């Protein structure tokens, strides 16, 4: 890890951990911030129903994906730029912040005025030109770990963003590829405390893509809180069986409600007593 010692993201570069602030929402020490919403926005109605529900249950940021990276070119690719008006409607109807994935500079140009947080997905973690581009923005970036990336590669990808001028970076552990395929990926739970030893940046966990199974999402989410994560990004759908993408790993409203209650209770055991504070404080 010697190569990291001269980086800007290195833990001892600062004498405090970074809290990424975005309007009324904080990511970092003392906070446990929940981002929730469908894998992809499918239509206006399901997006608004989901947004209102997850907000009521304590999420402070809405997953608002319009562009989807799919393994098959014949799978649903997201509703694309037509979805921008849906994002604006959710903004008008809720206090949720919006976050969305960009796969290219073109997507960024379409979304930038309409979202609060930009997500770089696993498949683009080492797209260095895109990292440099988002490094010039004045908006927080969620950087997801590449599915076959070491922690060092992950951190050096974050360094590209920081070195381009953007210090508002949230790291996201989303599972890595391993030999077992019972789960979609293997949640590297120790990535959370390891990253916290190495960097001052906030770390969140994606229990949805790391498991691929809705039945395992609550366990992964609770393990993330216990391991010291600063939040979650979690797929919630009003009717997972009919979802156009990732229905198997999306949890329904009822499961999300139970999980949020459990997280609330767990947070009092760990030093995350300000869980959901960012939602309650406005
Ligand atoms: C997502 O969060 O929508 C996604 C595609 O996840 P990942 O980039 O981790 O595969
Ligand atoms: Mn998904």
Q: What is the predicted pLDDT for the residue at 15?
A: 81
Ligand 2 centre distance from Cα of residue 40 (Å): 7
Q: What is the pLDDT of residue 253?
A: 98
CA distance 36 to 238: 12
pLDDT score for 274:
59
Q: Is 273 helix (H, G, I), strand (E, B) or coil?
A: coil
Instruction: Give the pLDDT of residue 124.
Output: 98
Residue of minimum CA distance from atom 9 in ligand 1: 122
DSSP 8-state assignment for residue 39? S
- State residue 279's pLDDT score: 47
Sign of CA dihedral 86, 88, 94, 96: positive
Q: Which residues of the chain carry a pLDDT beneath 70? A: 273-282
Compute, in angstroms, the gap from residue 210 CA to the centroid of ligand 2.
Answer: 10
Instruction: Give SS3 for 254.
Output: helix
Could you say which ligand is closest to the alpha carbon of residue 177? 1
Best residue among 63, 115, 144, 233 to mutate for probing ligand 1's pocket (most ligand atoms within 8 Å of CB) is 144
Q: How far is CA 28 from CA 52, 68, 167, 183, in A?
A: 24, 27, 13, 28
CA distances from 274 to 26, 68, 174, 218 (A): 11, 33, 24, 20
Q: Which of 38, 61, 69, 191 to mutate to test the pocket of ligand 1 (most atoms within 8 A of CB)?
A: 69
Euclidean distance between CA atoms 71 and 129, whole angstroms: 22
Query: Distance between CA 271 and CA 61 in Å, rounded?
Result: 22
In this structure, the strands spanning 25-27 and 97-101 are: unpaired
| Residue to substitute in 115, 121, 204 for testing ligand 1 pocket (most ligand atoms within 8 angstroms of CB) | 121
pTM: 0.96
For residue 209, how far is its CA from the centre of ligand 1 (angstroms)?
7
Cβ-proximal residues to 261 (8 Å cutoff; 6+ apart), any chain: none
Q: Identify the pLDDT of residue 278.
A: 47
55 lines ligand 1 (CB under 6 A): no
The pLDDT value recorded for residue 269 is 86
Q: What is the pLDDT of residue 280?
A: 43
């Amino acid at each position: 890890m010697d190569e990291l010692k001269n980086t800007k993201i290195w833990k001892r570069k600062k004498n405090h951990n970074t809290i990424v602030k975005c309007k009324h929402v904080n990511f970092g020490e003392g906070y446990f911030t929940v981002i929730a919403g469908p894998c992809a926005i499918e239509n206006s109605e399901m997006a608004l129903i989901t947004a209102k529900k997850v907000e009521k249950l304590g999420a402070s940021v809405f997953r608002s994906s319009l562009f989807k990276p799919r393994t098959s070119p014949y799978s649903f690719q997201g509703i694309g730029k037509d979805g921008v008006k849906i994002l604006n409607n959710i903004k008008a109807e809720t206090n949720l912040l919006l976050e969305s994935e960009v796969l290219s500079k073109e997507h960024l140009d379409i979304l930038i005025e309409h979202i609060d947080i930009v997500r770089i997905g696993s498949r683009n973690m080492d797209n260095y030109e895109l990292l440099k581009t988002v490094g010039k923005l004045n908006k927080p970036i969620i950087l997801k770990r590449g599915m076959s990336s070491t922690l060092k590669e992950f951190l050096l990808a974050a360094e590209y963003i920081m070195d381009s001028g953007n210090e508002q970076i949230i790291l996201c552990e989303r599972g890595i590829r391993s030999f077992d395929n019972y789960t979609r990926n293997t949640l590297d739970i120790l990535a959370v405390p390891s990253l916290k030893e190495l960097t001052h940046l906030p770390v969140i966990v994606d229990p949805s893509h790391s498991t691929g199974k809705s039945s395992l999402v609550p366990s992964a989410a609770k393990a993330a809180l216990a391991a010291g994560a600063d939040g979650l990004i979690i797929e919630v759908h009003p009717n997972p069986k009919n979802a156009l993408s990732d229905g198997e790993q999306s949890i329904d409203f009822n499961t999300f409600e139970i999980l949020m209650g459990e997280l609330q209770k767990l947070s009092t055991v760990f030093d995350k007593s300000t869980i959901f504070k960012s939602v309650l404080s406005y």
